[in-house]
Amino acid sequence: MGYSPTIYDVAIADTDGRPLLHSDPELLSKDSVLPEREQFRNVRDGGIRRQLKTVYGEPRVYES
């Protein structure tokens, strides 16, 4: 068995992807741009193979 910590973050960004509020204060600099994340609906609507790959694959962070 392995140990894998789960980290959650919360952010509110402007239309350019710059964080206005973030749970990690270090990401609030003027030059910071949040990375784009895949929409979770792509997994939800992606069929059984996509869902199995998501469950058993590498951990990823999704946009809801």
Domain count of the chain?
2
Are residues 25 and 7 located together in one domain of the fold? yes
| Containing structural domain, residue 43 | 36-64
What integer is the mean pLDDT of 9-28? 86
> 5: pLDDT confidence band, cut at 50, 70 and 90?
low
pLDDT for the residue numbered 49:
93
Residues 14 and 28 in one domain: yes
Q: How far is CA 58 from CA 13, 26, 36, 52, 53, in A?
A: 26, 26, 17, 11, 9
**Residues 24, 40 within the same domain:** no
Q: In terms of domains, do 25 and 10 share one?
A: yes
